[in-house]
Amino acid sequence: MEIKHFSIFKYFSIIIPLLTGGCYAEIPFVGNRISAAGFNTNKSKAVFLSDAQVSKKARAISAFPDGGIPKILFRKSALYLYDMQGDKLQEIFTYSSNVRGFNSRVSFVNGKAAFSIRPKPGWDYELKHGLDRDIIDNYRGIFIYDLAKNEITRLTQKGIEPYLSPDGKYLLYFVQGSDYTNVRTIELANNNNRLLKKYDRFNYFFARAKFLDNSNILILKSPETCIRLNIATGESEELSFSKAKEQFEKEYPDDPADFLEYLPFKAIGIDINEYCHKNRKQWLKDIIEMKGDNFGYRRAVLEELYNTMDKNDLQTLLNRMDNYKEQLSSYEKLKYEVYSKKTIDFINYLIRNKKD
């Protein structure tokens, strides 16, 4: 009996810590999604929406039965103004931490930035299950930020996808109902808001628009067709997408968010030291062995170590990563090449920008 009791005790002394101890992963997920960005004419300044988060993945008993709920350590959604020439970042507007899962757009012209957010299905679910609707209603609609005055004004509570005219006098946006899409404009000098066109929503899918000049705008109606619309007269003309394709390619040569891909995590409030307590040797080991399941963690670590490393140190790190890869099996080596690509690209970026 004593041996049996001892065996049971030993069993539970092993299994209980496995089930209850360390309910969350050691290495955090670190991410910052830039979901919208707008540049001024000479691309010296950008206004963008940042959606940043630090969390730890559930594990052990906390991960049952469906993977569990991650532990949120940091969450922030905010609109920023970035002066690229002066390398200065200014927080313009901070959203409630409850506002998650939205599409957005920023249009930036002549010192004014129009922006909007709109809910995704996940947000609608939260509204039905306990999230205060007033919180969300505070952020719906079209807003405009005046850089000179440092002021934000909501132009309308209903509306998505704002576009400012090249002279900054007009704003075009869309309002979607259950069976319609309205195209509306606001004359910013007097806030005159008027309906330009109403379309059957089931036959018209609006994805992008572009001002051709101060009066004419080109709207992508569907993957095949476009509409040229005069905002002064309301007259419209339907065009094949092939004729308008060049205009859209000039307007959208790249995703604006790509230019802000390596915005430092610390600039938006994320300090990796607060969420992962390791020394330099342990951090470098994590990078070399691709620890954690996200590039954001490794990038945050590299940003933290950057000031203590010169170009030779960074190149040595790349060499150590390559040596580690060569010791792996063929299959693991292939996986490593895929998972390490973003990290290697970032280290090369740091080398290029490191001053001698």
Are residues 332 and 200 part of one domain? no
Residue 121 tokens read as: 């299905």
Are residues 88 and 21 part of one domain? yes
Note whether residue 272 is domain-resident: no
Residue pLDDT, tens place only, 51-105: 899 999 887 655 555 556 788 899 888 889 998 888 889 998 887 665 555 667 8
3-class DSSP assignment, residue 353: helix
Are residues 320 and 224 part of one domain? no
Closest CA to 106 of 147, 54, 134, 135: 147
Are residues 251 and 296 part of one domain? no
Residue pLDDT, tens place only, 188-211: 999 999 998 888 866 666 667 888
Q: What is the CATH number of the domain that holds 11?
A: 2.120.10
Residue pLDDT, tens place only, 271-299: 999 999 999 999 999 999 999 879 999 99
Residue 14, burial from CB neighbour count under 10 angstroms (0-12, 13-18, 19+):
exposed
Note whether residue 338 is domain-resident: yes
* DSSP per-residue letters across 291-348: -SS-HHHHHHHHHHHGGG--HHHHHHHHHHHHHHHHTS-HHHHHHHHHHHHHHHHHHH
pLDDT at 356 over 60: yes
pLDDT at 181 over 60: yes
Note whether residue 23 is domain-resident: yes
Are residues 302 and 204 part of one domain? no
The model carries a pTM of 0.77
Q: What is the pLDDT of residue 296?
A: 95
Q: What is the pLDDT of residue 2?
A: 46
The domain total for the chain is 2
Note whether residue 268 is domain-resident: no
Which among 195, 230, 259 is the end of a domain? Answer: 259
36: Cα within 13 Å, side-chain hemisphere: 23
Residue range(s) defining the domain that contains residue 171: 2-259
Residue pLDDT, tens place only, 208-254: 788 888 988 888 776 667 888 898 888 888 877 676 666 665 554 44
